[in-house]
Amino acid sequence: QQDPTTGFSRAQYDSSLLLPSTISQQDLEELKKTNDMIETTIQKRENQSKRSLEMGVTCNDILNLMKQDKLKVLIDAGAIMLDLGNEAIAQRWLDLDHTIEGIVYFTSGNELVIKTRSESKESGGRDTPLKLSSYRDQLQNCAVYLDDYHTRGTDLKLPTNFKACVTIGSRMRRDKLVQACMRMRKLGKGQSVQFYLSHEASNKIREMKNKNGDKSDIISFRIFSCGVRQNSKEFEEDGLPYWAASAKTYTQKLAADEMFEASDKSSKAGKTLAKQCEDPEVFVLESIYGTYKSKQLLADVIPKWFLYVEDKLKTDRGYLGRLTNLPETVQRIISFYMRYVQKQIKLHIPKQEFLFSMLEEEQEKELEPEQEREVNVERPPRASPLLPKLCQNVELFVKLGGQLHVGKDGIVRLGDIFRNTTFANVVQAECWNSTMFVTEDFLNVIVPNGHSTKQDNFLRPLTYISSWSPTKFSNNNQPESLLVLSPFEVNELMPLFRSKTTPVTLHMFTGRSMEGQDILVNKPRLQLPTSRQGVQLNETTMAPFLIAAGNLFYDSMKEQKSFASFLGLRPRPWQEEDEAAFQAGLIEKTGFVIPSSNSKLWNSLASIFKRDPSGLVRAILKCRNDVLRDSDHTLRLLNQCAYITELEREDVLPEE
């Protein structure tokens, strides 16, 4: 596109006057009435409830009030939850309301987590990333806390019957209120809000009522709405002097750049440009406080600001010497922006007075809270590579074939790939397929050191799989032994694979990290020996390897079903027998079928996992892949398996 475009959210920005002159607000036609639409929704009867809080109210007081009102969502748009941090609020909420199973909130690291109850009362709640939690799509028994910083841009699938508490501060603006209420995506369609007004906000609204001759204590929504609109107007008016000051600074730098472009662009000209663009970092106190100041209309002060710009461009020229007159193009730039700023000031705040001192006075400005995020990536400590070696049992297997079993030197179960990782305790290595193995050389990558025995960052990718069967391969006669080899072992055994005497076939393999990618395993041209054509490993055989490789996508529905079957998961939508089994406790919330009911009810399940492997799969995906998205097939499958109540996934309000 010709002009760069920027923007945020579908809600209209009510402070367009404070945008730089080079940026224009051009709302899409279909979005122009968004704020009015949400405001109309808020005016419905179910959203009319309001509470006026007392002075000095604490977080604990507000949580107790929410328990009385049976509210499960706290949207702190008014930033009144100040005496406790996010985690402390979540823990206090859990302690106060025992009907809640978990609290969703943002950590200080800007991560969305859920705090659930711990079995030990002394240890407090447990924090789990929401994406990895079984509560991800079943928040009906949970509560949600959104601090002021996260009242924009947060999207959670909340149950249709949820009612939220929205806090209101004394300077709440209309666009911010709309954004806060839009966190309830089905607002007006089952979801509703209740407003908690701070003591300052209540007093401000009552003062406005008294000015209009209304002496009652009741705060109607009409008065409340007028107060919010008035705050938006005051925010713009208070910000216009600083907008004008920014325009002055921008004009100064633009004019300086114009002078540099017209110069010989020498080093002296460059130093002059830098000097003309910089603002003074220190001031002489006498220049700020030692002179008499009188208030003047801001509209009358603006021309003096831009005269200061002209004088600075003439004098701050270093070795180039002072100018008598500025170039005509520079004068036009200064004149244009001076007239533009003065016009806006006269139009919107014509009566506002200002202390004139060439901008060299102390200025106080109320800033929106901003979060500065600095990411420090912790790399694994330096490690020494372990010298590879070819085990005799591996060489004999490639030479002669034969059925493998646990106990042979240099060969272990496929599930042992993750025995040196941080999630080794959930691998259930004994439950993986009994005909699939991996060599010790594949596992041993680095020399164990004193820093850590965990090797999450040093896992080899699955690249080579060798297969053996006592009979001729066919689609109905799968290999009886499969062995994952390391690159070193393949290189050492390559002469054997290229000969026609070995009964073992070497396959190349890779997990899918993108949609449509080939896993290579059934490509005849990539198999050795090349004379043995047509060796095919079916979906059921490949499921454990896809899991171990951190596979993200599937080529067919059959492959995906084999994957789910090996894990013992029942994806939704469920049949009547599935729903009945869930109610009977035969299916867990994550969709995992209890092992005792595998063979009784579902013949298609091939799982022999004793415990739910969903957490293991998520851990492998995170370890194997740098970036995970909800659209990845495997993550989508795990989410489909999790039990969800009758909660429609479609948003009533469009996405931001």
Whether 301 is in a domain gets the answer yes
Domain count, the chain: 4
The whole-angstrom separation of Cα 469 and Cα 448 is 36
- pLDDT band per the 50, 70, 90 thresholds, residue 296: confident
| Judgement on whether residues 115 and 204 belong to the same structural domain of the protein | yes
Q: Give the CATH number for residue 189.
A: 3.40.50
Confidence at residue 372, expressed as pLDDT on a 0 to 100 scale: 62
Whether 541 is in a domain gets the answer no
Confidence at residue 565, expressed as pLDDT on a 0 to 100 scale: 87
Whether 525 is in a domain gets the answer no
Q: Yes or no: say if 79 and 174 are a contact pair by the CB < 8 Å rule.
A: no
If you search the block for the tokens 């590579």, which residue do you land on? Answer: 385
Q: Yes or no: say if 546 and 625 are a contact pair by the CB < 8 Å rule.
A: no
Confidence at residue 373, expressed as pLDDT on a 0 to 100 scale: 66
| Judgement on whether residues 608 and 460 belong to the same structural domain of the protein | no
What does residue 353 show for φ and ψ, rounded to 5 degrees? -100, 160
In DSSP terms, 466 is beta-bridged to: 483, 506
Whether 577 is in a domain gets the answer yes
Whether 232 is in a domain gets the answer no
Q: Residue 342 pLDDT > 70, yes or no?
A: yes
Percentage above 70 pLDDT, the chain: 82
Whether 107 is in a domain gets the answer yes
Please compute the mean of the pLDDT values over residues 344-350 and round it to a whole number: 89
| Judgement on whether residues 209 and 60 belong to the same structural domain of the protein | yes
Q: Residue 529 pLDDT > 90, yes or no?
A: no
Q: Residue 3 pLDDT > 80, yes or no?
A: no
The whole-angstrom separation of Cα 643 and Cα 579 is 10
Confidence at residue 216, expressed as pLDDT on a 0 to 100 scale: 62
Confidence at residue 545, expressed as pLDDT on a 0 to 100 scale: 92
Confidence at residue 606, expressed as pLDDT on a 0 to 100 scale: 57
| Judgement on whether residues 70 and 167 belong to the same structural domain of the protein | yes
Q: Yes or no: say if 529 and 505 are a contact pair by the CB < 8 Å rule.
A: yes
Q: Among 448, 478, 508, where does a domain finish?
A: 508
| Judgement on whether residues 328 and 411 belong to the same structural domain of the protein | no
Q: Among 508, 537, 561, where does a domain finish?
A: 508
Tokens representing residue 143 in the block: 């509560």
Q: Among 302, 333, 354, where does a domain finish?
A: 354
Confidence at residue 166, expressed as pLDDT on a 0 to 100 scale: 93
Confidence at residue 145, expressed as pLDDT on a 0 to 100 scale: 95
How far CA 274 is from CA of 259, 290, 308, 320, 576, in Å, comes to 12, 30, 17, 13, 74
Confidence at residue 5, expressed as pLDDT on a 0 to 100 scale: 57
Its domain, for residue 618, covers 546-655
Confidence at residue 438, expressed as pLDDT on a 0 to 100 scale: 94
| Judgement on whether residues 192 and 91 belong to the same structural domain of the protein | yes
If you search the block for the tokens 């209890």, which residue do you land on? Answer: 594
Nearest to 620 by CA among 542, 540, 546, 516: 546
Confidence at residue 35, expressed as pLDDT on a 0 to 100 scale: 67
Confidence at residue 370, expressed as pLDDT on a 0 to 100 scale: 52
Q: Helices 86-96 and 59-69: crossing angle, nearest 10°?
A: 40
Confidence at residue 552, expressed as pLDDT on a 0 to 100 scale: 92
Burial of 159 (0-12, 13-18, 19+ CB in 10 A): buried
| Judgement on whether residues 565 and 466 belong to the same structural domain of the protein | no
| Judgement on whether residues 261 and 211 belong to the same structural domain of the protein | no
Q: Yes or no: say if 591 and 643 are a contact pair by the CB < 8 Å rule.
A: yes
Q: Of 5-19, 276-290, 339-353, which has the strongest mean pLDDT?
A: 339-353
- pLDDT band per the 50, 70, 90 thresholds, residue 261: confident
The whole-angstrom separation of Cα 607 and Cα 93 is 39
How far CA 191 is from CA of 41, 160, 181, 194, 468, in Å, comes to 11, 5, 10, 11, 59
Q: Of 263-267, 544-548, 609-613, 625-629, which has the strongest mean pLDDT?
A: 544-548
Please compute the mean of the pLDDT values over residues 78-92 and round it to a whole number: 90
- pTM, to two decimals: 0.52
Q: How far apart are the first and last CA of the chain?
A: 22
The whole-angstrom separation of Cα 656 and Cα 654 is 7
Q: Yes or no: say if 201 and 54 are a contact pair by the CB < 8 Å rule.
A: no
- Position with higher pLDDT, 356 vs 512: 512
Q: Residue 359 pLDDT > 60, yes or no?
A: no
Question: Which 8-state DSSP code applies to residue 84?
Answer: S
Whether 611 is in a domain gets the answer yes
Q: For 31-106, where are the alpha helices, taking DSSP H only? A: 34-42, 59-69, 86-96
| Judgement on whether residues 554 and 599 belong to the same structural domain of the protein | yes
| Judgement on whether residues 613 and 501 belong to the same structural domain of the protein | no
Strands (E), 117-229: 126-129, 142-146, 163-168, 192-197
The whole-angstrom separation of Cα 600 and Cα 594 is 11
Confidence at residue 507, expressed as pLDDT on a 0 to 100 scale: 92
Confidence at residue 442, expressed as pLDDT on a 0 to 100 scale: 94
Q: Residue 526 pLDDT > 90, yes or no?
A: no
Confidence at residue 440, expressed as pLDDT on a 0 to 100 scale: 93
Q: In this predicted model, what pLDDT tens digit does every residue of 130-144 receive, in sequence order?
A: 888 888 888 888 999
**3-state DSSP: the chain helix, strand, coil percent, rounded to 5?**
40, 10, 45
Confidence at residue 272, expressed as pLDDT on a 0 to 100 scale: 83
| Judgement on whether residues 192 and 242 belong to the same structural domain of the protein | no
Q: In this predicted model, what pLDDT tens digit does every residue of 631-655 receive, in sequence order?
A: 889 888 888 787 543 333 333 333 3
| Judgement on whether residues 253 and 181 belong to the same structural domain of the protein | no
Q: In this predicted model, what pLDDT tens digit does every residue of 220-256 receive, in sequence order?
A: 667 777 878 888 888 888 888 888 888 998 998 998 8
Whether 184 is in a domain gets the answer yes
Nearest to 166 by CA among 319, 54, 42, 290: 42
